[in-house]
């Protein structure tokens, strides 16, 4: 990773490695993160990253936030390896693009984001082939520049937009139950208890060609972006997530409370969350 404009604060838990890189100058988004294996799993197959970089050149001077959450696919070999590999590959590729060029157009960030996910897919596929293992993982990412958020998704880890009045799922799950819901064969309520709810229709590492969905959001000053694995949204549901984020003192406090609440409910899966409030947001 190019660290010419960055200092590195590396943090680890007993479950998985996280890395956070903060800009030396400029106003950074307010971001919190937390990750946990849950109360029933022996290991953690989730990974996350939060990186803030200075994009500085003769024509551009601004702070860019890059965030990711990945969930290694259950039932596949080395899920934790796949999730970490996907996150780190995509983050490093994005940071390289951001720091080495002076482009600052929305379509450029989306192009970089899509390319970073493609590279992550290629690396996970190649590593799986070399190790003779089936590697697979979800991956949801966000690039936040000012109040603009560009988001990419593969799998069923999610991005939400959270405001003082409500919560809205931004991403669209790549899962079998989502296909059934979209076709009208089952309801969203039935999907939550469906026996195929954890079957993905695509994931990083599953195929040479993947369908990366891209989303764009313009955030109001009192809105936030939440990236999370299915261990969080399946355990808590939208209204409880909204309540926790709205009442927390900070993104860091919100993420820790989200994890604690999942575990209090007997979280059956790993849990990862990254919550981002743009730099323009007033402190709360």
| Structural domain spans, the chain | 6-277
* Cα end-to-end span (Å), the chain: 33
Query: What is the per-residue burial (b if ≥16 Cβ within 10 Å, else e) of 194-229?
Result: beebbebebbbbbeeebebbebebebeeebbbbbbb
Residue 182 host element (H or E): helix 176-182
Superfamily for domain range 6-277? PPM-type phosphatase domain (3.60.40.10)
Percent with pLDDT over 70 in the chain: 87
Cα(15)–Cα(133) distance, rounded to whole angstroms?
22
- Name 224's Cβ contacts closer than 8 Å, sequence gap at least 6: 161, 162, 163, 245, 251, 275, 276, 277, 281
Q: Are 243 and 254 in contact (CB under 8 A)?
A: no
Cα(43)–Cα(36) distance, rounded to whole angstroms?
9
pLDDT of residue 7: 29
Positive or negative: CA dihedral 252, 255, 257, 260: negative
Q: For the CA atoms of the chain, what is the radius of gyration? A: 18
Q: 154: which strand partners? A: 139
**Both tokens assigned to 144:** 């936040």
Instruction: Measure CA 218 to chain center.
Output: 18
pLDDT of residue 33: 97
Main-chain dihedrals φ then ψ at residue 233, nearest 5 degrees: -70, -25
Per-residue pLDDT 10s for the chain (284 aa) are 332 333 233 333 333 444 444 444 447 789 999 999 999 888 899 999 999 998 877 777 888 999 999 999 866 668 999 999 999 999 999 999 988 887 778 899 999 999 999 999 999 999 999 988 889 999 999 999 999 999 999 999 999 999 999 999 999 999 888 888 778 888 777 777 787 777 899 999 999 999 999 999 999 989 999 999 999 999 998 999 999 999 999 999 999 999 999 999 999 899 999 999 987 543 33
- Name 141's Cβ contacts closer than 8 Å, sequence gap at least 6: 66, 67, 68, 90, 94, 113, 116, 117, 151, 152, 153, 227
């Amino acid at each position: 990773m190019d660290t010419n404009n960055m200092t590195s604060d590396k943090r680890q838990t007993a479950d998985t490695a996280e890395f956070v890189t903060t800009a030396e100058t400029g106003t950074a988004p307010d971001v919190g993160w937390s990750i946990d294996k849950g109360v029933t799993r022996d290991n953690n197959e989730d990974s996350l990253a939060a990186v803030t970089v200075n994009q500085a050149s003769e024509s551009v001077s601004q702070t860019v936030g890059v965030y990711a959450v990945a969930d290694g696919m259950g039932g596949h070999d080395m899920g934790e390896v796949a999730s970490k590999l996907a996150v780190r590959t995509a983050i490093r590729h994005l940071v390289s693009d951001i720091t080495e060029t002076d482009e600052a157009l929305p379509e450029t960030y989306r192009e970089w984001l899509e390319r970073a996910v493609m590279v992550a897919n290629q690396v996970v596929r190649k590593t799986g082939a070399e190790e003779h293992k089936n590697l697979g993982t979800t991956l949801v990412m966000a690039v936040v520049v000012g109040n603009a958020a560009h988001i990419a998704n593969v799998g069923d880890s999610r991005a939400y937009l959270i405001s003082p009045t409500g919560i809205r799922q931004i991403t669209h799950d790549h899962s079998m139950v989502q296909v059934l819901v979209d076709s009208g064969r089952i309801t969203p309520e039935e999907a939550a208890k469906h026996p195929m709810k954890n079957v993905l229709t695509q994931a990083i590492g599953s195929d040479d060609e993947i369908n990366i969905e891209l989303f764009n959001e313009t955030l109001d000053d009192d809105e936030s972006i939440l990236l999370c694995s299915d261990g969080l949204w399946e355990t808590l549901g939208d209204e409880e997530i909204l309540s926790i984020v709205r009442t927390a003192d900070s993104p860091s406090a919100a993420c820790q409370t989200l994890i604690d609440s999942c575990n209090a409910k007997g979280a059956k899966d790993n849990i990862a969350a990254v919550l981002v409030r743009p730099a323009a947001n007033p402190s709360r």
